[in-house]
Structure formats: structure tokens, C-alpha cells
Structure 1
């Protein structure tokens, strides 16, 4: 028998969360339903996907291999659902997009075309960073997001990389002691306050070394740096547009860094025609936008 998308989704969630019960809670199902679906999947495939001899089920080698295939099938199903939604029509009345200041969206191209295609659709644009973007999409608060590429995503989040990379630089105000330093090192940075970007859903940044102030806004961190309160990791486009004359870029130690940007959406809530068009446009418009900006 061919495995169902639902059973593959349960398998992917259980594998990612390391728990059948956690997968059941995430999917709003009974644990017995998840356990039975995965057991039937193992029968259909003729493979043991989980080692159940330990306290927490762990993937077998066969399970690890099948997880990759399951994720590919889920992704293909997601693409088919998007295409069907576009063909079936039924334009959504509201679309929420959450973007990251990591990436400068080519608004003059994207929103101009969007307004002409969907003049009566209400568009909401929010700003968030990192895991906050993913959380807003997971919760259904936003249908589509742009985020600095994360190491991994939950199984219910679809993602596609944007062709253009963003750039993150290391900056201080002109009067900061580091502005005249001949050589930047990790030890030297730790002697001065870091102006850190934080998020509401992940406190990992708080466990990093060194004294720090933090904010969820790149623009507020930029202003703090301009005033000399510390050093900051900042998208290069923000410094160029808003603080080209007031911030000094620190070189070395791998800075500046190139950052991949991903578009993300929920696989549990299909994008409508406008959301699908916006996703495709954001992914494909980059090269055109660069050409227009350089003319």
C-alpha cells in the first residue's frame, strides 16, 4: 500500500520531536492514533523506522533514510496543493506577510505588481526576526514570511531559498574605542558591550558570553551603536541607508558575512492565489530588482 500524506506527516513530526506523544499534541491527535499510524506505516514499508527499546523512540538507520523521502513527499504534496489552490481560484480576502530586516525586500517591484493584481485584497506587513518569523507563520498569524535561513525548520513549515544573499556586518559608532582598533579579535569584542538582536520565542542568544544590551529591532540596535553604547551585527543595507556616516565597519574574523534568506509558509494552511503569487514573486524577482537598482 502507498503511505498516506497524513501518516508521513505523523512520522516526520515524531522523528523531529523525538516523541509520539509530543507529535500527537502538535497535530491535535490522540497518541494512540499517531502510534498506530506509524506502526501501519512500518508494516506498509516493511521497515522498522523507530527503535522502541529506549525510553524515547529513536530513528533507526532505515528510519533516517525514510525521513528524507517522507519530507520530499510532503514537500511535493505541498507544491501540488499550492498549484491546485491557484487553479481553483477563491482569492483570499486578507494576506499577512512577516519580513525580516535581514533582507531588503524589493518593494517597488513586488508591491507594485501585487497592488495591480489584487487591488481589493488587504495586505498586512509585519517585521520580526529569526524564530519569531517561523512562530508567527506556524500560529497562522502570518501566511508567509521571509527570514534569515535557519539551521532547520519544523516539519509543518515549508521553505524555499531566495536567490540573493543578504550581508551582515560588524559595526560601532565613530567614537567607540573599537573604531580605531588595528585588529579585532573575539577576546577584544568581549571586553566591550554587544548590542544583540533577540527574539521572543528563543532565548538562546541570552546564553552567549559577554555583557550585552538587546532588542528585537535592528533599527534600535543601530541607534544604540551610533550613540557609542557597543558593537552590533547589522544588515549592511540598513547601515548604508540609515547610518552610512555614523557607523564604522569592523573588518576581519570572517566579517562581513553572507546570509541566505528563506521564504517560509505553513504546510498545514495552504496558500491562496495571492499568497502563492507573492511567494513565487519574492523568490524570482531578486535578479530583476538588482538590475533595476543598478540602472
Structure 2
């Protein structure tokens, strides 16, 4: 059974203001209209919501028990109307962000809080991906925006801009690994041990970023978090975001002292030029950028 919004609103206002006449004035209706609306609601529910035996109607136990439910329905109705108005005004129903573990920003949670407050009815999805997988998700339309370690080039249909935050990468091994016992590590030392490298769906199997690579002595995984676990278990050494190690390795890894490391890496946000960004995605893009360097 459905209940008219007018009846629910009349009931809620009568409770809040203490009388049918006050509710009528607040709603800009006649007292008889408000009384009839509440009476219809009582008939629909099969319950007496007000005791009308006194000078002023008094809320019954049943009315008191149902008041919270009525407030929930009215609040849901408000959200429905707000969402419909935003969609009618061009707001996209959903934004998906493909996020690399390379990106770690103190402002990220603040941006999501702002997004929640500004677009409370927007569906938001976060996808974890790396390198070319981020780009592919954006190209396919699976992700609206992507954050990843800056690439040398992008497909012509992909727009990119550099965010203010940079990612710091280091080389890590398990504390029990023989490499961890060396005060200073040369590239020739690294080449003698298994490389754990990122290997995404869109990447070819090749040495990453000029890292030493020895034949088949290489294991790969599609995410930095999996590489972290492999390195923690002593299977080899890996290039990892330093913030990820600090937050998730629990002291199991040691950073190697290698010439040229650690390295600082720019981070880009990417989007598809083939699909215009909606209001929410455009707003989020601007909030992620600080002094954007558009390409």
C-alpha cells in the first residue's frame, strides 16, 4: 500500500507543531484539508495516530511508534526529488575512479568527503589498477577518471594533467633476504636475485623502468600490494611505493641503498576526450589538480 506524501507531511507537521491548525498554516492549507489528510492516513494504516478527545489532538502510542518511519519516508522522498533534479540538470549518475597504489595523498580523503557533501546521491566507485590498465579502463569507459604514475605518452583520445603530489619509490626486500645484509647495493648485486615486478594486463613482459633483469629470474603481479606481499615472503626484491611499505609492510621489509634510489615520480590524472565529463567528474578533476600541467 502507498501513502500520499501530503498525508505523511501533514502528520509530521502536526506532531512537530502540536496542532492541526498550526500544521495547516505551515503548509499553506486549510485546517480541514490537513485533518482529512491525517484521517486518510489513519484509514490506510488501520491505526489511530491521534487521540482527539481533548482540546488538542494528542499523539497515540501507535502514532509515536510510527513517527520515525514517517520521517524516514519523507527524507527518502526529499533525496529522490534532489537526485531527480540533479539528473535533469545534467548530473551523471555515477563516477568511477581508477586509482594506482602509487598515488597517496593526505587530501584524497578530504576530496571524497567534499564529493559526498556536494553530490550525496552520486554513485561513486573506486577501482584499483596500475599503469596501462588505468588508461585502458578510462579508454573503455569503465572508469571516468584515472590516477597513475605519469607515463611518457598517452593515446590521443586520453587527456592528462599532473597533480601536485608526487610518488616516492624505493627498492625493498625482506629483512631476512641476503640483499638486506648489504650496506650498499649495486645493480650487479640486484641482477643476481629474483626481480618482483609489476605486470599489468596492458603491459608487455619486459624489464620495468630499466631495472636489472636476469633471464627468467622474475616473478610478476598486477598490483603493488601483491608485490609487497611477495617481497615480504622473501621471494625477491621489488620497486614499491614507499608510503605503501610504510603503511602495510609492518616492518617486514628493508629499503635497499642503491645509487639513484629512492626515486620521485610524477602522478597524472587521466580522462577520455571521447566522453565529456559530467558536472561531478569535472568538479572532482579540478579538486584533484593543483597547478595542473595539461597535456
Same fold (TM over 0.5): yes
Change (3 A) 1:114 1:285: farther
Equivalents in 2 of 1:177, 1:108: separation in Å?
A: 39
What does residue range 87-126 of structure 1 map to in structure 2 within 5 Å?
A: 89-105=89-105, 106-126=107-127
- Conserved? CA contact 1:110–1:285, under 8 Å: no
Equivalents in 1 of 2:199, 2:138: separation in Å?
A: 18
What does residue range 82-231 of structure 1 map to in structure 2 within 5 Å?
A: 89-105=89-105, 106-205=107-206, 209-210=213-214, 211-231=217-237
Aligned-residue RMSD, C-alpha: 2.1
Equivalents in 2 of 1:108, 1:129: separation in Å?
A: 20
Partner of 1:268: 274
Partner of 1:284: 290
Shift of 1:122: 0.5
Equivalents in 2 of 1:113, 1:251: separation in Å?
A: 40
Shift of 1:268: 0.6
Deviations 1:215-240 (A, max 9, x none): 00211111111111110100010011
- Conserved? CA contact 1:97–1:125, under 8 Å: yes
Shift of 1:190: 1.0
User: Number of residue pairs matched?
Assistant: 200
Equivalents in 2 of 1:222, 1:143: separation in Å?
A: 28
Equivalents in 2 of 1:125, 1:183: separation in Å?
A: 39
Unaligned runs of 5+ in 2: 1-85
Equivalents in 1 of 2:258, 2:124: separation in Å?
A: 41
- Most deviating of 183-192 and 170-179: 183-192
Partner of 2:245: 239
Change (3 A) 1:217 1:283: same
Unaligned runs of 5+ in 1: 1-85, 287-295
Equivalents in 2 of 1:89, 1:258: separation in Å?
A: 42
Change (3 A) 1:285 1:220: farther
Equivalents in 1 of 2:158, 2:243: separation in Å?
A: 28
Shift of 1:107: 3.3
Following TM superposition, the consecutive aligned residue runs of length 4 or more in structure 1 with deviations greater than 3 angstroms are none
Equivalents in 2 of 1:275, 1:157: separation in Å?
A: 15
- Conserved? CA contact 1:130–1:199, under 8 Å: yes
- Conserved? CA contact 2:164–2:291, under 8 Å: no
Equivalents in 2 of 1:217, 1:257: separation in Å?
A: 19
Greater helix percent: which structure? 1
Deviations 1:59-115 (A, max 9, x none): xxxxxxxxxxxxxxxxxxxxxxxxxxx9x9400001111010001143320110000
